[in-house]
Chain A
Amino acid sequence: MSPIHIQGGRLIDPANGIDAVTDLYLAEGVVAGVGKAPKGFKAETVIDATNKIVCPGLIDLAVHLREPGQEHKGTIASETAAAVANGITSVVCPPDTDPIVDTEAVVELILHQAKQSARAMVLPLGALTLGLAGEQLSEMYALKGAGVIGLSNAKRPLTNSLVLRRALEYAATHDMTVFIHANDPTLSGHGCVHEGPLATRLGLPGIPEAAETVAVARDLELIEQTGVRAHFCRLSTSRALNMIARARHDGLAVTCDVAVHHLYLTEVDIRDFDSACHLIPPLRSERDRDGLRDGLNRGTLDAICSDHQPHEPDAKQAPFAETAPGLSGLDTLLPLVVRLANEGVLSLSEALAKVTVSPADILGLKSGRLNTGAPADVCILDPQASWFVSAESMYSRGLNTPFKGWEMPARATQTLVGGRLVFDTRKE
């Protein structure tokens, strides 16, 4: 890793409370100095970051890479290339691949493939139950040994509360974090949109907010009783967030995240059956969106992620309920986070913390910060580079985005992972 000098940028490092125009020095894959070059430092590469923002590389808590099993939608190579083109240096991938990440072999396959082709760090989650079927515990200890960063049952709900309790207990035994998607499947049924006036108007089956809140209530009880380290993924309702805030007030150390699109879109954006807005959890009401923004502001929401789910075009070409849910989010995560700051929801430093140090802390990583000795995962972005979301401007293989045509306020220009320049807009 050749020494790199990033000069003249506005360095924002939320973890260390830095927001100043200063230089950054990288060597041997780590941050070698901030503001002042370490003794004897001789840069082989100098990156001029004048008028740009230099911040820790983004850590995205939810990126479906689609490999193994659905390579027609995306691959580890294609989607990690899209990640780094958007300043994202680490991606957490859920276990609902094909085959499912419930054996050491599949973990090894992903990590091997990542080593071969990935530009970003790939952090797999292991299955909480065998085959994600919710009946038998996975071999968590073996999965940990193989390199998973945590456990999850992905979006397949655990209906059997006893199995969930045992899974949480066993995960706690091995000091592993469990990532929970709160959803009561009997309440969400075959729903595909938020239960509300729009679902009624379009005659689409609705998913009530209670599908999320009832599950959060149950899960919080079991988390408290088992003492497991738990993280709630992709909360979509204001009420669920209030429940988390209350639990925290009572001393429970749970964390939670939101998908960035839930901070911008509501059920109304589905308009006339726009399948790009077919998402799970669904786009909720305006009250929920405002509540989620408020939760960011109050600090209840720890992290923001993309919930990236690339699809081939055919997957979205059908009547709404028959299309595959999910959006391609890697290309819009960074600009939408910057836009939160532009809209005054958070300061830029606070907004960046939600995609850097905060997810790093949830995952127990040393990255997400730029103090001396931290991994040299860096994002350099141009805060003036406004661009329009289109098939041409996206890096992901999945073009399924409801933000098509939106003007975005910022774009990554260079990305470094472990001190290696893995994306440079000047070379694109």
Chain B
Amino acid sequence: MTTRSTHSSTAPIKRPRTIQIDSNGRLRHFIAIEGLPKTILTEMLDIAESFVSVTAQDVKKVPLLRGRTICNLFFEPSTRTRTTFELAAKRLSADVLNINISASSSSKGETLLDMLRNLEAMHTDMFVVRHSSSGAAQFIASKVEPHISVINAGDGSHEHPTQAMLDMFTIRQHKPDFSALRVAIVGDLRHSRVARSQIHALNTLGVGELRVVAPRTLIPAGMERLGVQIYQNLEEGIRDVDVIIMLRLQRERMHGAFIPSEQEYFQLYGLTEARIALARPDVMVMHPGPINRGVEMDSAVADGKHSVILQQVSNGIAIRMAAMSMAMRSRADAKAEA
């Protein structure tokens, strides 16, 4: 008799076997942090470390992906993320194709699968996918030809794994022992794909304590089952923490039914120098950007001595180079075995 596994309502929800890993245990696609073992995350951080020196050289290129074609498939506009992926690919010597779909194929009624088939026929090796629907990158990964890798550049409110990994990379540069860390993630957890990826990454890397801080309207149901402690009070939430990760509040949601106003949000959840004093003296302040100054944090904090926000941006390229080279290496291994 075939049976389906079910979980009791209090047990953590386990992720099923991931399509991200190949038969050799290597990263095949990079869709989500959840489901990946610590070894892969650590390896990605180590490889990124080696790429940091590349970006500091006069000639900022390595020939790892020479002759490969990487397609940035963006169903949702994003200049910043697309640019860092493009730069990362070019520094690996790959050819890059940028396709902005909202403006082209989808409006002509082509289906997603038809478009993929067409791009595959152009001998693409990798898709970097940004999409407004959760699960889009997973769907594309499940449909592409076996020699193609997919990297998720943000899907709906699901995950944004490279962003989370560059955050982990930045944390590790300052505080290498994750088990000794107390981290607080503050803000719009309901809609944030970055936060979900950060939570999985921090838990997998063995963070000492992980807190999320927000009003109840911005914390989705059952969030504690992702392995976090929930705080509604910012002062309590950031007391004695080593890292504060602020999330971006999307202005279009500000006057909806989630929070009454930017002013009240800043009053209750805005990061100020006075509040930072509650955290550890060497606390790191992070933000995935772009910052709403005076809403999520004071300018003095954003530009202050605790802020590592610009460092996060620089690290983004090294992490994306690492993710791309790891996924492509899995492809090369598969070809060699065949």
Contact status B139-A204, CB under 8 Å? no
Identify the stretch in A53-61, A146-154, A317-325 within 8 Å (CB) of chain B at 4 or more residues: A317-325
Q: Are B139 and A203 in contact (CB under 8 A)?
A: no
Is A136 on the interface with B (CB-CB < 8 A)? no
A192-247 residues with Cβ-Cβ distance < 8 A to B are 195-206, 208
Interchain nearest-CB distance for A277 vs B (Å):
11
Asked whether, in the complex, the Cβ of B112 is within 8 Å of the Cβ of A318, the reply is: yes
Q: How many residues of B contact A (CB 8 A)?
A: 38
Among residues 266 to 289 in chain A, which have CB atoms less than 8 Å away from a CB atom of chain B?
A: 266, 268-269, 271-273, 285-287
Say whether B159 contacts A203, CB under 8 Å.
yes
Contacting residue for B134 out of A271, A287, A321, CB 8 A: A321
Task: A265 to B3: give the CA distance in the assembly, Å.
Answer: 11
B158 surroundings in chain A (CB, below 8 A) = 202-204
Whether the pair B193, A285 counts as a contact (CB closer than 8 A) is no
- Asked if A201 contacts B34 (CB within 8 A), the reply is yes
Q: Mark B33-53, 1 if CB is under 8 A from A, else 0.
A: 010000000000000000000
Most buried by A among B6, B18, B138: B6
Using Cβ atoms and an 8 Å threshold, which residues of chain B touch A208? 221
Question: Closest CB-CB distance, B191 to chain A, in whole Å?
Answer: 8
CB of A272 within 8 A of CB of B131, answer: no
Verify B223–A273 contact, CB threshold 8 A: no
Q: Which residues of A contact B6 (CB under 8 A)?
A: 266, 268, 286
Give Cα A200–Cα B214 distance, bound, in whole angstroms.
15
Neighbouring B residues of A195 by C-beta, 8 Å: 220-221
A287 touches B9 (CB 8 A): yes
- B16's partner among A197, A271, A285, A320 (CB-CB below 8 A) is A271
- List residues of A (388-417) whose CB comes within 8 Å of B's CBs: 388, 405-407
Q: Which residues of B contact A321 (CB under 8 A)?
A: 133-135, 156
Which of A24-80 touch B at CB < 8 Å?
none
- Which residues on A sit within 8 Å (CB–CB) of B8? 286
**A314 contacts the other chain (CB 8 A):** yes
When distances are taken between beta carbons in the complex, the residues of chain B under 8 Å from A196 are 221-222
Please give, as numbers and ranges, the residues of chain A lying within 8 Å of B118 by CB-CB distance. Answer: none
Binary CB contact string for chain A from 111 to 149 against chain B (1 if under 8 A, 0 otherwise)? 000000000000000000000000000000000000000
Q: Decide if A202 touches B7 in the complex (CB within 8 Å).
A: no
Contact B221 A285 (CB under 8 A): no
Chain B residues whose CB sits within 8 angstroms of the CB of A199 once the complex forms: 220-222
Distance in angstroms from B76 CB to nearest chain A CB is 12
Cβ-defined contact, A405 with B2, below 8 A: yes
Query: In the complex, are the beta carbons of A322 and B111 less than 8 A apart?
Result: no
8 Å CB contact of A273 from B139, B196, B222: B139
- Name the prevailing secondary structure of the B interface residues: loop
**Complex Cα gap A264–B7 (Å):** 13
Q: Is the pair B2, A406 in contact by a Cβ cutoff of 8 Å?
A: yes
Q: Which of A198, A203, A265, A266 contacts B156, CB < 8 Å?
A: A203
Quick one: given A203-B156, A203-B196, are A197 and B225 in contact (CB under 8 Å)? yes
Partner of A197, one of B13, B143, B196: B13
A319 and B222 form a contact (CB under 8 A): no
Q: How far is the CB of B145 from chain A (nearest CB, A)?
A: 16
Whole-angstrom distance between the Cβ of A217 and the nearest chain B Cβ? 20
Residues from chain A with a CB closer than 8 A to the CB of B220 are 195, 199-200, 206
| Docked-complex contact B111 and A272, CB < 8 angstroms | no
Q: Is B56 among interface residues, defined by CB-CB distance under 8 A?
A: no
Interface string of B126-159 (1 = CB under 8 A from A): 0000010111101100010000000000011111
Residue of B nearest to A285 (CB): B9
Give the shortest distance, in Å, between A185 (CB) and chain B (any CB).
15
Q: Which of B2, B15, B133, B221 contacts A322 (CB 8 A)?
A: B133
Q: B16 to A272, Cβ gap below 8 A? A: yes
Expressed in whole angstroms, the minimum distance between the Cβ of B12 and any Cβ of chain A is 8
The listed residue (A200, A314, A319) touching B131 by CB distance below 8 A is: A319
* A407 CA / B5 CA spacing, docked (Å): 15
Q: Least Cβ distance of B88 to chain A in Å?
A: 24
Task: Select which of B9, B138, B225 is within 8 A of A286 by beta carbon.
Answer: B9
Among B1, B133, B155, the residue within 8 A (CB) of A407 is B1
* Complexed CA–CA distance, A198 and B16 (Å): 12
Q: Is B4 an interface residue (CB 8 A)?
A: yes
- The answer to whether A319 touches B136 (Cβ under 8 A) is yes
Q: Which residue of A lies closest to B157 (CB)?
A: A203
Q: Tell me the smallest distance from the CB of A132 to a CB of chain B, in Å.
A: 26
Q: How far is the CA of A206 from the CA of B156 in the complex (A)?
A: 13
- Is B113 part of the binding interface, using a Cβ–Cβ cutoff of 8 Å? yes
CA distance A221 to B136 in the complex (A): 42
12 residue pairs bridging A and B, Cβ less than 8 Å apart: A197-B223, A197-B226, A200-B223, A201-B15, A201-B34, A201-B226, A202-B134, A203-B196, A272-B135, A273-B135, A319-B134, A320-B135
Q: 10 tightest A-B contacts by CB? A: A197-B222, A203-B157, A273-B135, A203-B158, A319-B133, A319-B136, A200-B220, A203-B134, A197-B225, A320-B135
Can you name 14 extra interface pairs (CB under 8 A) apart from A196-B221, A204-B156, A287-B9? A197-B13, A197-B226, A199-B222, A200-B225, A201-B226, A203-B196, A272-B15, A319-B112, A319-B139, A320-B135, A320-B139, A321-B133, A406-B4, A407-B1
